[in-house]
Structure formats: C-alpha cells, structure tokens
Amino acid sequence: MQRIDLPSSSRLLSPDFTFGVATASFQIEGATQADGRLPSIWDQFCARQGHVKNGDTGLPACDHYNRWQKDVEMIRDLGVDAYRLSIAWPRVMTQDGQPNTKGLDFYKQLLDRLQEFDIRSFVTLYHWDLPQHLQDRGGWLNRDTAYRFQDYASLVSRELGDRVDTYATLNEPWVSAILGHEVGIHAPGMTNARLARQAGHHMLLAHGLGMQTLRQEAPEANAGLVLNMGPNTPHSRRYDDRAAALIGEASMNHWFLEPVLEGRYPQLYTRLRPELTPQILPGDMEIISQDVDFIGINYYTRGIVSFDREKWVKDHAAKDAEVTDFGWEVYPQGLTDLLVDLNSQYILPPLMITENGMAGDDHLEQDRVHDEQRCRYLQSHLQAVHEAIEQGVDVRGYFAWSLMDNFEWAEGYSKRFGMVYIDYETQQRTLKDSARLFADFLKQRPASR
C-alpha cells in the first residue's frame, strides 16, 4: 500500500496541526426513537415518499447510539488528535425547552471517553436535524427559531461543561438553506429562492446568538462555524462566463462568510438579485459578525460554470476528469486555490478543513476494502492543504469526511464516504485501505507530539 508523502518541513507534520475524522448525528446514530428523542425534519423528510433514495431513513444508520463505545475505540486506534461530531438537538431538549437527561447522558459519556483517550472533541451544534416541532412553527423561516437555537446552545454548553474543546454553531448553512428551501432536495423540501435566503439569514442570526451564548457559558472553548465552499471555474474565457464564476462564488462561498467576517452580504449578489435579499432587522449584522475563533471549510470539489440568461449561473460537468462515485470531479488544486483566494480577500481567523473526502464504489472482499481512489484523494488533498499553507494561509487542522459510511442525505445509504466500511445488515465495521493509510500516516508523525 502507498504511503502519504509530505515534505518533512510541512506544517501538517507539526505538533500543533490537528488531524481528525468527522461525522454527524443523523447520519450515524440511528435509534431515532430511543430515550425520548423527538422527530426531526429529516425523519419527516425520509418518511415522505420519493425524497430519499430507496426510501432509506435514519434507521439503522450505523447504530452508533448503541455501539458508540466500540466506535470510540476505533477512533482512538486510528491515532487521530480530534473527533468532529454533532449533537442531535431533538435528543437533548424536550419540546418545552427542558433538558432530556437520557439524550444528554449519551453525549456526556461519549465525550468523557474521548477525553480519557486524549482525543479533542469538535462539536457541531446544528448539523441539519431541526426538531420537527420547530418546523411545524415555520422552521428557519420563523425568526424565532434563531432564539430557540440560542436556548439550545445554552442548554448544551451548560450541560456539557468543559468536555468540549471546540464548538461549531452550524454546519453548512448554505446547504440547509438552499438545498432545503430552494432546490428542495433536502429537508424540509421547500422550493422558494427568496425564502431560502431568508432561512439562511435566520441561520446566521442563530449562529451569532449562539456565539454570544457560547462565549458566556463556555468561555474556555473555541467557537466558530463551518461553511461548505468550492471555487467556481469559468467554463470558457469569455467575459460573461468569468462573470458567472464571480456570481456563483458570491451566491455560495461569500454569502455566508462575508456577513460573519465583515457584517454584510456580498454586494455583487444583492445588487444583481435584490429580490432575493432577506429582511434584515437593525442590529442583526452586528450579532452575526462577532469574532469567531476559526472558520471550518468543507471542501469536496469545484464548480465549472457558464453564464445563463435566466439563472445567471449554469453548472457544467468537468470533461475528461476523474470523478467520484457521486460524479463529483476530483480536483485537489481547487482546495489550494480556494484557500489562497479567501486569504487574499479577507482578514481570516485560523481555518480548519472540517470535511474533505469522497464517495467510492466500495466493496468488502475477504475482510478488506481496497478504496484505492480514496487513498489517492487523501494524499492529493493533504498536499493541497500543504501548498495553501506554503502560500501563507493559516490552516490549523484537517478532518476526513467521514469516519465511517453513513446516511448520505438524499442519497440514503447508496453513497459510501467512510474510511471504515459499514455492513448495514450486520453493523460490522471494517477498516478500508484509506483508514489504514491514514492511521499509518498519523502514527509516523514526529514523536514530539
């Protein structure tokens, strides 16, 4: 098997660079009705026919709720420094805002075990599993949900105390706002472009209110948020295609970053599409733009775009490119380009790569999974992070998505992103070659750690 190769002087090999694996509650936990967990918008979405491939649901997922002890040992054996997980809001808070002790105990035990193993925890508060009772009152279209999120952040940070090293308020608000409210392929399945941006604004408000609370209740913890991003490459050198690339980036990459770092939405987009600009109340942008300790970047691929008269931006498939099982182009250079570009446009806090990985057509053969493409993907993307750091970007960590195969949203269990293979019938876990490669790499880092 190949080895991960980086220059010996690389910052990625320094003791203060964090390596981890990432998961999210709804994607791995299963046990959707255990111990008083309330329904979430994803339970509801899965139950509506035709929304999720093969009618898959949050059951069984990886049954992590019952198998967490072994899973944490598996994480330890990989040799990572940190584990990124998310808390299921509907597990830990009752409908009237009280703590659900049993749900909280699950996370307390898990986090205690991580601490025992000297693994730092990166906890995402919102990875898309909004309690359904809040959706019934308008969900993210209702401004009040941002305040309910603040209550939830307060409950979690008080209950979990110093077990958490780093909090992320939200994971990928672009995805939950746009795919959930404009494109309609994610919960809650709405299709209204203007309302999608309004939902996004309330998510940002939730982020800001959540930050205020975390600063008070968990002053020792780091806190920030996680955004999905990718560079947009113009389909041709034509002026209008290059303009489309800028518009695409404003509508996705900058739409959530600029408010947080600079307290305003990208003007390129608000001027072009004023009808989509959300309603902003006085004081909102101040709440949203508080200092964060880090920004998490989730990177999978780039976009290739051309100008379109109706939609402004039209996506194209990459020609003659290597793609993953999802059809996404493998384009590590895009990660370097993205990071360098952001660094030139903003005064950034430290960055973490909070997700990076790929779906593979993985098969279990004689207790092994030869995910050769994922091994190459890992190598080339770590190299891409290294190059961005060489060009001056302050990247402090890298989390592989994902620890194990799991529920891939609208794709159900059909797409496998894990470094560990899950047999959903037997719940057996098998390390893929990529997990072995990653573990070897982590163990060979200089001993000063």
Active site positions, annotated: 172, 355
Least Cβ distance, residue 55 to ligand GCO (angstroms): 19
When asked if residue 121 is in the footprint of ligand GCO (CB under 6 A), the reply is: no
At which residue do the structure tokens 């490669």 appear? 437
When asked if residue 355 is in the footprint of ligand GCO (CB under 6 A), the reply is yes
Rg (Cα) of the chain, in Å, rounded?
A: 21
24 binds ligand GCO (CB under 6 A): yes
How open is the CA angle 57-129-63, to the nearest 5 degrees? 45
Whichever of 159 and 408 has its CB closer to ligand GCO, that residue is: 408
Task: Answer yes or no whether residue 258 interacts with ligand GCO by CB under 6 A.
Answer: no
Which of these, 250, 243, 249, lies nearest to 268 by C-alpha position? 250
Interface with ligand GCO, residue 40, by CB under 6 A: no
Site string for ligand GCO, 189-218 (x = CB under 6 A): ------------------------------
Alpha carbon separation from 379 to 264, 344, 382 (Å, rounded):
37, 25, 5
Binding flag, residue 129, ligand GCO (CB under 6 A): no
Q: How far is the CB of 171 from ligand GCO (least distance, A)?
A: 5
The pairing of beta strand 18-22 with beta strand 395-401 = parallel
Instruction: Count CB atoms within 10 A of the CB of residue 220.
Output: 8
> Does the footprint of ligand GCO cover residue 25 (CB under 6 A)?
no
Interface with ligand GCO, residue 401, by CB under 6 A: yes
Nearer to ligand GCO (CB atom), residue 207 or residue 242: 207
Q: Does 71 bind ligand GCO (CB under 6 A)?
A: no
Minimum distance of ligand GCO from residue 82's CB (angstroms): 16
Side chain identity at 398, as an amino acid letter?
Y
For residues 205 and 287, is the Cβ–Cβ distance under 8 A? yes
Buried/exposed 332-343: b ≥16 CB within 10 Å, e otherwise: bebbbbbbbbbb
First-to-last C-alpha distance (Å) of the chain: 25
Hey, which residues does 428 pair with through a beta bridge?
Answer: 423
Among 19, 417, 421, 441, binds ligand GCO (CB under 6 A): 417
The two structure tokens encoding residue 433: 């070659």
Interface with ligand GCO in residues 164-183 (CB under 6 A): 171-172
CB-closest chain residue to ligand GCO: 172
434 binds ligand GCO (CB under 6 A): no
Mapped onto helix, strand or coil, the DSSP state of residue 336 is: helix
User: How near is the Cβ of 255 to ligand GCO at its closest, in Å?
Assistant: 16
Work out whether strand 428-431 and strand 351-356 pair parallel, antiparallel, or are unpaired. unpaired
- φ/ψ (deg, to 5) at 255: -60, -35
CB of 27 to ligand GCO, least distance (A): 6
Listed residue (417, 430, 435) closest to 28, CA to CA: 417
Q: What's CA 390's distance to the chain center, in Å?
A: 25
Out of 408, 431, 435, 441, name the contact with ligand GCO by CB under 6 A: 408
What residues pair up with 351 in beta bridges, in sequence order? 295, 395
For residues 361 to 400, the per-residue mask of contacts with ligand GCO, x marking binding by CB under 6 A and - elsewhere, is ----------------------------------------
> Is residue 68 within the footprint of ligand GCO (CB under 6 A)?
no
DSSP string, 5-22: ---TT-GGGSTT-EEEEE
What is the residue type of 217? E
Q: Which is nearer to ligand GCO, 232 or 354 (CB)?
A: 354
| Whether the Cβ atoms of residue 12 and residue 115 lie closer than 8 Å to each other | no
Cα–Cα distances in Å, from 259 out to 14, 203, 352?
32, 12, 19
**Given candidates 233, 298, 356, 434, which one binds ligand GCO under the rule CB under 6 A?**
298
How near is the Cβ of 346 to ligand GCO at its closest, in Å? Answer: 21
Alpha-carbon distances of 186 from 41, 143, 178, 408, rounded to whole Å: 9, 20, 9, 11
Considering only 18, 145, 228, 233, the residue that binds ligand GCO (CB under 6 A) is 228
| 223's tokens | 């806190």
**Based on CB atoms, which residue is closest to ligand GCO, 27 or 145?**
27
Residue 356 binds ligand GCO (CB under 6 A): no
The two structure tokens encoding residue 248 = 């695409």
- Binding footprint of ligand GCO, residue count (CB under 6 A): 10
45 contacts ligand GCO (rule: CB under 6 A): no
Give 59 or 272: the residue with its C-beta nearer to ligand GCO: 59
Applying CB under 6 A, does 301 fall inside the site for ligand GCO?
Answer: no
Residues that bind ligand GCO (CB under 6 A): 24, 27, 171-172, 228, 298, 355, 401, 408, 417
